[in-house]
Amino acid sequence: MSRFEIGLVAEGSTDFVIIEAALKACLSKPFVLTLLQPEATRPEMQGGWGGVYKWCRAMAARGFGMLEADPTLSRFDLVIIHIDADVAGKRYSDIGLDPLEQAQPLPCALFCPPPEATVDALQKVVLSWLGCRSLGRKSLFCIPSKATEAWLAAAVASDVPRIMEGLECSLSMEERLASLPKKRRIRKSPRCYQEHADEVRAHWPLIADRCIQARRFQRELAERFS
């Protein structure tokens, strides 16, 4: 059986774990997910949203206009660009970045709820990093609000009201997961997140029900592979 080849540009390795689990829940066809950023052999790119910015700027500098046209990405059926919606509240200067004049400004956060307003604004920012007006059929945004921890929380702590309150508008979801009772506590590490990856996959319908941005990701993913 053939399989999809999917490339992922992400803030970090824990995001890779959650997004891979989401893909397993959403796709019926086998796939291989390759982490394009952060990339171990290019430590100068670093991680976090600054690493996503640098990757996008490097791709824009190659001058192909759209990701689909770049021959270095030709083997991929899809390239996913992940960034958490909390980046909309950041400043370029926070991590020593010097944006080019054509980059859309940060911060760009709008009132939440609804989460979509901020996400839409942040998409325009990332598109400016890429130097294009829109993504093509072989590329896709993944922008959880305010972070991928919201998707993880919906999977593992849907029965805890204080965790679920303001699920997609909370900037403290990582801390909330770390404050769960000892047997359920989740620390932010690839190993710990991997231990809960199957729960994200199994409870994806619940995540999509609770999180607007999860539903959006699932819908746009289906559109790409329709």
| pLDDT range class, residue 54, cuts 50, 70, 90 | very high
For 192, counting Cβ atoms within 10 Å of its Cβ (0-12 exposed, 13-18 middle, 19+ buried), the class is: middle
Q: Look at residue 1 and tell me whether its pLDDT is greater than 60.
A: no
Taking the alpha carbons at both ends of the chain, their separation in whole angstroms is: 18
State the Cα–Cα distance between residues 39 and 51, nearest whole angstrom.
10
For helices 115-130 and 212-224, give the axis angle rounded to 10 degrees: 50
Mean pLDDT of the chain: 94
Q: Per-domain residue ranges for the chain?
A: 4-224
Q: Look at residue 212 and tell me whether its pLDDT is greater than 90.
A: yes
> Which tens digit of pLDDT belongs to each residue from 143-163?
999 999 999 999 999 999 999
> Which tens digit of pLDDT belongs to each residue from 94-141?
988 877 666 899 999 999 999 999 999 999 999 999 999 999 999 999
pLDDT for residue 2: 84
Which of 77 and 41 is assigned the larger pLDDT?
77
Q: What is the mean pLDDT of residues 70-95?
A: 96
pLDDT for residue 95: 86
CB 47 within 8 A of CB 38: yes
Q: What's this model's pTM, rounded to 2 decimal places?
A: 0.95
